[in-house]
Chains A and B, each alone.
Chain A
């Protein structure tokens, strides 16, 4: 079975631009979460979506937004990029009956210049 997939794998943007990252969950998973992992640190929670509704939001500015589609795939949008947004963005999915056990994709590495 396919795992969580993310696209693109790498991205280079300049300050002030916006970016859209995409995620497809494991088949049958209805919950998708997004995490930011800065180099040398553990992942930090950004959002959780379940059945197309935002269920949780981490301590990130309003420049970060996300949505989930009817097929349970998800997008993470970041506006007005800052240098500090450079990181690995990880998507994770989980079963509706076990949302705390999360399975991660390979991530999108974003570099902001």
Chain B
């Protein structure tokens, strides 16, 4: 079945450092891809999405490009802030008949130090 694999964390960076969180997927079709962020004690917030190959999703300085040839959707940010400390989840949409569900990776914890 479809699946998502993320790099294990925690990822620890200094403020203003460059961030990359790797995500690869396995899918039979061409799913939409998503990044969600979860701050401590909260639910998931949609960060960005891409719906087809070569699409770039972006939001709040974060970017990710849908790479069909490498089945990847890596999250990047040029300069992280302490407030970016959170857990980041990569996900794909799985449609079967009239049902839609998201399949998530295991999450990558980011810790940004001042």
Q: What is A's interface to B at a CB cutoff of 8 Å?
A: 4, 6, 31, 33, 35, 40-45, 48, 50, 55-56, 58, 88, 90, 92, 94, 99-107
Contacts and interface: CB of A to CB of B under 8 A. Distances in A.
25 contacts: A33-B101, A33-B102, A40-B106, A42-B104, A42-B106, A42-B107, A43-B104, A44-B104, A45-B102, A45-B103, A55-B98, A55-B100, A56-B101, A58-B101, A90-B43, A92-B44, A100-B93, A100-B102, A101-B34, A102-B46, A102-B100, A104-B43, A104-B44, A105-B43, A107-B43
Nearest to B91: A42
Contacts of A104: 36, 43-46
A101 B101 contact: no
Question: Nearest 4 A-B pairs (CB), nearest first?
Answer: A56-B99, A42-B104, A100-B93, A45-B101
Contacts of B69: none
Q: How large is the interface on B (under 10, 10 to 19, 20 to 34, 35 or more residues)?
A: 20 to 34
Instruction: Tell me whether chain B's interface is mostly helix, strand or loop, or mixed.
Output: strand
Interface of B: 4, 32, 34, 36, 42-46, 49, 89, 91, 93, 95-107
